[in-house]
Every structure is written in structure tokens, then in C-alpha cells.
Structure 1
Amino acid sequence: MSDLSGRQAIITGGLSGIGLAIATALTSAGASVAVGSRSARGNDDPRHAGQLDQLRAAGQKVHAGPLDVTDQRSIDAFVATAQEALGAIDILVNAAGMTREQPVCGHSDALWHDILDTNLTGAFRMTRALLPSMIENRHGRIINIGSTAATVGWADNPAYCASKAGLLGLTRCVALEGAAHGVNCVMVSPTWVETELMRRDVEEIVHAEGKGRSVQQAIADIADENPQKRIIQPQEIADLVAFLCSDASRGLTMENIQVTGGALW
């Protein structure tokens, strides 16, 4: 198991799906965590009591608060309160993300900007906020949650694919800027992962098909198309991220690690 004792992490999108699994893995490994989410109100938010109890079970410091990665003022406020609660942040996991199907022909500017602002520019803003202190302290880990969409196209998802391809470029640039200062930057790119976001995506696909296929059947078909005949679980992503945040991963930077079970998409 990775040892992250004495480390402080920020996880965007940290109260659901992959982000929550990562936050749980990091606390279990000994890190203190600050989880940000658009829906969060604070450390005593009753709507997220279950998630916060889950994070606190490991006995580490946990801070939760509102975070909109498309709003610089929200980022500044969250980073300041996280640093006050935990201390200097040396791990950043950019897990906040969104997607919505819309073909290139007829794609709205508003949706394009929303997706890129969340998935790509949001990660840039968070990195810009935290990289200077990591460089000064000569230690840092920045993990960007990407997708196979960074390297494989997906019809009707131009903004999502563009945002993840851009995130890969950002990852490589940050890795180069941080390399001489003990700061690693890696992108983890899964295929389909069994989360509520996946279910919503599949619901949208099924609705667009109009063929009467059920969501359950569509999910079963996705699993059957995977060479391992299954769907990747959030815990698999979380365990990998915990390793990438540990001292054992010192030589791993500028990589795009795909977690696919052998699938291209």
C-alpha cells in the first residue's frame, strides 16, 4: 500500500464517482485531503454526510467546500481555506469533469465552452494556483484524470475529446516545468468506469439511439465489448492514483497511463 503520511491533497470533483474513490484512497494511505465540488457547502454539509464520514474513517484531516473550477474567485477561496485547514498542498488531483453528446454540426458555442472550461481550463487554473508552492517546496504530484478520448475519437463528442486531448498536452507541459523541482505530472486515462456519470452518459446515448435498448442492456453491451468482459471500477483508478502520489513513483512523470482492460475506447 502507498504511504502518503504527512501529505496534503486537493481533489476537485471529490465528492462523487472517481474523485470520491481517489479521495478515499488517499486518506486511507495517510494523506489529509480537501475535496471540492460545485454542490458542496462545507465540512458539515448534511447532503454529503455519508461521503464525508467515509473520508474521515481513516482518521486523517478532511476539508470540504464549494469549488467551481470555471470560476477563478471560487478557486482562490477554496485553495486558501484548504491551505488554512491542512497546510501546504503537495498533491493536486484534477478529477472534476463533464460531458454531453452533441455532434459537430449544430454544436453550440455555449456547450463547447462549458465542457472545455470545466475539463481543461479548470485543470489549468487549479495547476496555476498550486504549482508555484510545489516548486518552492520541491515536492509535488499533479494527477489529471483524462480519458481514452484524448487519443481516440468519439462521434458526437467533439468538445469532450478536444478537452481531454488538450489536458494531455497540458500534462506534458507541466511535467517538464516541474521536473527539475521534484514535481511530477501524470494523466490517468480510463475507458468507461462504473460511476453515476457513466450511467447518465449511457442514458443519453440510449435516448439518442431511439431503438428501445435499455440502459442496463447498453451497459452490459459495453462490458461485453471490453476484452476483459467487464467495466473498470473507480477503486482501480484510485489505487493507481495513490501510487502515483507516493515516493515510489518518483520516475513517473509526463505519462498518459491508460486504464482500459485492453479496450481502445
Structure 2
Amino acid sequence: MSSTNLEGRSAVITGGLSGQGLAIARALAGAGANVALGSYLGEAAGRAGDAAAYPGEESAAAIRAEIEALGVTVHAGHLDVRDADAVRAFLDAAEAACRPADILVNAAGTTAEQPVSGHSDALWEKIIDTNLTGAFRMTRELLPGMMARGWGRIINIGSTAATVGWKDNPAYCASKAGLLGLTRCVALEGAARGVTCVMISPTWVETELMRRNVAQVVARAGGSRTLQDALADIAAQNPQGRIIQPSEVAALALYLCGEDARGITAENIQITGGALW
């Protein structure tokens, strides 16, 4: 059990209703923090094609109830970090429910494989706007309050893609490299006012998004190879012979929110099991 105590703190977590964001939400709430969880909800966005790929209202309600059982206040709802007005509306509701944010975790993210040759503007903009500009928008809104109160933690969920290129992933790699630059700038801006900013960069993490993306690659390739075959190959490429789990990312995020981590800022901390990508 972690010794980090976050009672009286409030956290905003984008992408907080699934994957790494949800694992972090559970960890912070378990340490006593109120949590505001914003995710792109396919149903709320009014796009029928998104409902299968993103959490829905029913899932959000179930997660809210689960985390409230830990004895903390929870706000959960639709958040499209690509929309500045939606960001402001979500944060207003989050503050009303959970008090001003002391912690921001930028975990919302998306990806899609497409080579540079023939890469569409629309896909490039979607990935950059979600992974990089979305984190900027959230930080721009919450950093001033943290600085004014003299305490804050900003954690950006990056990737080994920030420092290692990968074929057919130009937008994703560019977005994570940009997020690292943003992390370092925010860290310097907040340093004198008690605000730290760190990027956690894992290799492959076994989430539903990861499994869905791998399944799409397998389907495009055709043949007899299955999703399980592909996951086994990914695990075999890791020196530890396994795929990193969301709980590992969450444990590090929780530590970074504690007082013992107040000197850790402007860093890119990798969780890779020894893998380069």
C-alpha cells in the first residue's frame, strides 16, 4: 500500500474513464483525492460510429459509483479536449463538484497508423489536437490556479514514441515528442510556485485501446494470425517478456503526486521493461 496521502486534494484526469487514466483515477482516489474524470463519450458526442470505440454514459455511471465507494467525491462526464469550450465547461463542473484542481493528469490520447506518404490532414490534426493540444488546453486552464495556491502536480502520459520513431506513426510520434517539450516548459514555469510537471512514457501498455488498435492491424494484414498471436509477439519483443500493465503507470503517477516527489520535475520517466519502443 502506498504511503502517499492525498486527502483534501482534487485531481482532474482526462481519459479518466478507461485505460491508464482510469487506473490512475483509482490510485489517486484510493489515496483520498477527489477525482474529476473526463473522457470522450461516444454517445454524448452524438456520433453513432464512436459509441463502440469509446466509453458510454452507462460505463461512466458505473465507474463513478465504483470510485465513490472509496469515500471520495467523483465527477465523471464527457470531455472532448479538442474543443476549448468543452474543456472550460467540464472544468467548471469539476470544480463545482470536487473543488479547485491540485492535480492534472493528461491521459487522453488517440492513435492510428498511416504512413507519411499520403497522410491525411484530418487524421494528423485529430491525433495532434487530442494528444498534444488537448494537454496544452487543460494545462493552460489549471496551471494559474495551482501557481496561485503554491502547490500542484501535472502529469502527462507520454510514450516511448516521444524519443523513438516508429514506421507509419508520424502523427503519434510527433504528438508525444511535442508533449515532452510542453512538459519541460510547464515545469520551468511552475517550479518557483510549487508546481511540478512530469511526463510518464511507457512502452506498450495493455489497455482496451491498445488491444483494439492491435486487432485493427491484424485485421488489415489478413491471414491466420490472431490478436492473441500479435499480443504474444509484442510481449516477446520486451526484454522482460511481458506487456506493461496500467497499474504500473498508476503507481508511478501516485508517487509523483506525493510530497516525497516534490523535487522531481521536467523529467521524462519511462516504464519499458527495457524495451526501446
Q: TM-score, normalised by structure 2?
A: 0.92
- 1:103-118 matches, within 5 Å, as 103-118=115-130
2:11 maps to: 9
What amino acid maps onto 1:20 in structure 2?
L
Aligned residue type for 2:211? R
Aligned to 1:77: 89
For 1:32, the equivalent position in structure 2 comes to 34
Amino acid at match of 1:68: D
Give the deviation of 1:68 after TM superposition. Answer: 0.7
The unaligned stretches of length 5 or more in structure 1 are none
Note the alpha carbon deviations across 1:18-38, whole angstroms, 9 max, x for none: 111000000001100000012
Match of 2:80 in 1: 68
Matched, 1:205 2:207: no
Residue in 2 aligned with 1:136?
148
> What amino acid is the match of 1:32?
N
- Alpha-carbon deviations, 1:200-250, whole Å to 9, x = none? 121122233334311100001111111111111101101110110111100
Question: What value does the CA root-mean-square deviation take over the aligned residues?
Answer: 1.3
Does the CA contact (< 8 Å) of 1:32 and 1:86 recur in 2?
A: yes
Q: How far apart, in 1, do the equivalents of 2:160 and 2:241 lie? A: 17
Q: Structure 1 stretch 221-230 or stretch 205-214: which is displaced more?
A: 205-214
Q: Secondary structure at the match of 2:105?
A: strand
Structure 1 position 14, deviation (Å)? 0.4
Helix, strand or coil at the partner of 2:37: strand
- Aligned identity (percent) is 65
Matched length: 263
- Partner residue of 1:256? 268
Task: Determine the C-alpha separation between the residues in 2 that align with 1:118 and 1:160.
Answer: 10
Contact 2:24 2:250 in 1 (8 A): yes
Matching of residues 1-265 of structure 1 within 5 Å: 1=2, 2-39=4-41, 45-265=57-277
Give the ranges of 4+ consecutive aligned residues of structure 1 lying more than 6 Å apart after TM superposition.
none
Superposed CA offset, 1:150-177 (max 9, x none): 0011100000000000000000000000
Instruction: State the alpha-carbon separation in 2 of the partners of residues 222 and 170 from structure 1.
Output: 29
**Which segment is superposed worse, 201-210 or 101-110?**
201-210
1:91-113 Cα offsets, whole Å, 9 max, x none, are 00000000000000010000000
8 Å Cα contact 1:101-1:204 kept in structure 2: no
Task: After superposition, give the CA deviation of every residue in 1:117-141 in whole Å (9 maximum; x if it has no partner).
Answer: 0000000000000000011001000
Q: Cα deviation per residue 1:162-204 (whole Å; 9 max; x = unaligned)?
A: 0000000000000000000000000000001111011112112
